[in-house]
């Protein structure tokens, strides 16, 4: 191959690499005026809140069997349950996920595609960050066992926290070809049916005492599909044409949440609290569905101000940057926490098993430490992915040549 041909191939490879991963500024400049930037902001913020909650507001320590556990200190702080009505952000992620997923479905169908193309693209987006994570933990777990240690399933089940969320979210994503059509045909009736399923499951579990696991699973699935479906009404403009609707949605959600947690049997905390006989998250209850409505209303009320702020280049650039690493951050954040726990213990420190004054004072350390390790893990993961992509390009070009 002559020099000109080699130069041409190198130039083509560089162009493809740049096209495959545009620069941050290029992504910012390419943002269409029609994009609802508040959706991207809320997605990034919700992931960030989850990560920080796990790192700093969980009393991470070992139980008598040496396994890591992560109770929260909500019960020990008077009135702390109220913070969970804001910081339990899983409903927010499903809301904006519903917006984004139905928008992508509309784009696919507009271009003549169907469920297969949609599901393939969405599966690649969800599964991609999991592959290096799973490979890493497989190697680490085998190495630990080879050295005489216990399997991660015995001491570190906390690292699998991201999996339950991704599994539930994947089901909502996979249902979009059906739920998007139902939205067009039945509109509010879809939400009413899902709400009825949630309430029926709660009545069977909490009222009748029928504790079959399938009841809790069906109720939980209906809650998250309900939150996801709410995002469709944001996407189609139903809830954004008149700002009064945003206030009505917020008030209805808040009133329902207050009713369910005062007159109804539901705990006031939206996260599990040690010592309480039941929680709202596992299985997921009607209180979380009401929380989704309340949080949607708050987001829509704040949307005009947030949208104006995000028109400025600096905040929007930060959101685009955060969105680009949101899924890897979520997948790897518990691994970073476990790695920091190991370093912390190796340095001779003991994990606190209660939210003492010393525990509160060390909270900044439990942000900085895992964050540094997380940055290293994501950096290595992306470097490996970039090298693999470049290798595939070189192989393909060599075959073509």
Burial class (CB in 10 A: 0-12, 13-18, 19+), 204: middle
Cβ partners under 8 Å of residue 61, min gap 6:
68, 69, 351, 352, 353
| Domain contains 12 | no
Check residue 164 and give its pLDDT: 86
Q: Is residue 242 part of a domain?
A: yes
CA distance 278 to 209: 13
List, run by run, the mean pLDDT of 10-residue segments along the chain (401 residues).
41 39 87 93 96 94 93 89 94 96 96 93 90 92 92 91 89 96 96 97 87 89 97 94 92 97 94 87 95 97 96 96 93 96 95 92 96 94 75 58 38
Cross-strand partners of 61: 69
2 located within any domain: no
pLDDT of residue 400: 43
Q: What is the CA radius of gyration of the chain?
A: 23
Which value, to the nearest 10 degrees, does the dihedral of the CA atoms of residues 85, 86, 91, 94 take?
180
Can you give the pLDDT at residue 396?
57
Question: pTM for this one?
Answer: 0.88
DSSP for 179-209?
HHHHHHHHTHHHHHHHHHHHHHHHIIIIIS-
In a domain, 9, yes or no: no
- Whether the Cβ atoms of residue 201 and residue 215 lie closer than 8 Å to each other: yes
Does the residue 220 lie in any domain?
A: yes
Q: Judge whether 25 lies within some domain.
A: no
Output the pLDDT for position 13.
35
Burial class (CB in 10 A: 0-12, 13-18, 19+), 206: middle
What is the distance between the alpha carbons of residues 340 and 371, in angstroms, rounded to a whole number? 9
Q: Please report where in the chains the tokens 């003991």 appear, as a residue.
A: 350
> Residue 192: its pLDDT value, please?
97
Residue 88 covered by a domain? yes
Structure tokens at 32: 């269409």
Under DSSP, the state recorded for 68 is E
Q: Before 258, cis peptide (omega within 30)? A: no
Distance CA 95, CA 106 (A): 17
Burial class (CB in 10 A: 0-12, 13-18, 19+), 321: middle
What is the total count of domains within the chain?
1
**Structural domain for 196, as ranges:** 35-400
Is residue 108 domain-resident? yes
């Amino acid at each position: 191959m002559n020099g000109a041909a080699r130069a041409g191939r190198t130039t083509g490879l560089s162009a493809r690499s740049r096209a495959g991963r545009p620069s941050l500024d290029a992504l910012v400049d390419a943002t269409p005026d029609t994009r609802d930037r508040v959706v991207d902001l809320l997605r990034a913020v919700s992931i960030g809140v989850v990560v920080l909650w796990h790192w700093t507001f969980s009393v991470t320590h070992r139980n008598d069997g040496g396994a890591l556990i992560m109770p929260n200190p909500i019960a020990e702080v008077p009135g702390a349950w109220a913070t969970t009505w804001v910081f339990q952000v899983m409903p927010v992620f499903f809301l904006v996920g519903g917006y984004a997923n139905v928008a992508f479905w509309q784009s696919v169908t507009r271009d003549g595609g169907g469920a297969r193309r949609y599901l393939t693209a969405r599966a690649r987006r969800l599964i991609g960050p999991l592959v290096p994570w799973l490979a890493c933990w497989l190697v680490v777990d085998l190495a630990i066992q080879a050295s005489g240690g216990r399997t991660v399933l015995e001491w570190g089940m906390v690292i699998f926290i991201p999996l339950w969320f991704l599994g539930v979210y994947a089901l909502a994503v996979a249902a979009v070809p059906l739920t998007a059509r139902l939205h067009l045909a039945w509109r509010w009736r879809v939400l009413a049916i899902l709400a009825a399923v949630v309430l029926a499951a709660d009545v069977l579990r909490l009222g009748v005492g029928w504790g079959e696991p399938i009841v809790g699973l069906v109720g939980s699935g209906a809650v998250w599909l309900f939150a996801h479906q709410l995002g469709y009404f944001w996407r189609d403009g139903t809830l954004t044409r008149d700002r009064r609707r945003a206030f009505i949605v917020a008030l209805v959600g808040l009133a329902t949440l207050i009713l369910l947690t005062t007159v109804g049997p539901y705990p006031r905390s939206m996260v599990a609290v040690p010592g309480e006989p039941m929680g709202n998250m596992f299985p997921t209850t009607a209180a979380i569905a009401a929380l989704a409505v309340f949080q949607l209303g708050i987001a829509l009320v704040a949307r005009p101000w947030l949208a104006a702020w995000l028109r400025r280049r600096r905040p929007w650039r930060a959101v685009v940057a955060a969105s680009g690493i949101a899924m890897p951050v979520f997948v790897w954040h518990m691994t970073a926490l476990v790695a920091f726990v190991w370093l912390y213990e190796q340095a001779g420190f003991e994990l606190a098993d209660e939210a003492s004054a010393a525990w509160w004072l060390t909270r900044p350390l439990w942000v900085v430490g895992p964050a540094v390790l997380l940055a290293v893990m994501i950096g290595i993961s992306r470097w490996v992915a970039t090298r693999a992509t470049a290798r595939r390009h070189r192989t393909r070009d060599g075959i073509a040549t």
